[in-house]
Structure 1
Amino acid sequence: MNHQQPAGIGKLFSIIALLEGLTWAGLLIGMLLKYTTKTTELGVTLFGPLHGIVFISYVVITVVAAVRLRWPLWATLLAMLAAVPPLVTIPMEIWFKHRGLLSNPAARQAALV
């Protein structure tokens, strides 16, 4: 395990993963208010487009991080799949950080030696 703090693209991935999870939660709450309680559409109006932008950013940043940080295929696929169910990007990012996947590949290799 490598507990090195991410920098550069790893740090950006961490931020976007958190935002993806939070905007997903905001959209779900907005849909609850709009369709179940029928009290307001504000949550969907606000979080719908916001989540869309963050989701697309997450996909792009995931591809860039996978290439630059030399993730194995399983990690790249897992990161992509984590964006589908609500809030999964948050624990997945924490797990990636603990595994050292958000650190520079050279630093990961040095930690293994």
Structure 2
Amino acid sequence: MKMKDFLAGVLTGVAAGVVVNEAVDRISQNVAADSVLNTIKDAFKKEGPIDGSWIVMKTEPYTNNVITMDVYKGGISRIVNGELEQYEFTADAKTGTVVELTKN
């Protein structure tokens, strides 16, 4: 085997390893909690102003029947017709998708 062919094989293997590593990192990363909260706030603002909001920055496990995922929990409050409305949400940490929304 020629040294040139050997080096080409090694470089190809290293490049493939870097690409696979980057893909795995992207898949396993969570969306930032601030980003999730801002997206949810923007959705609520389409229906009117909000009074306050919060989110827990640390993920926690959540099970919905068979599916288990890491989630962020948070809340939104707003005044509608002089009455305080409060909502609590649970959002998938990987995608930011709201998986549960309850009005208190």
- Flag the structure with higher strand content: 2
Scaled by the length of structure 1, what TM-score is found? 0.28
Larger Rg over CA atoms = 2
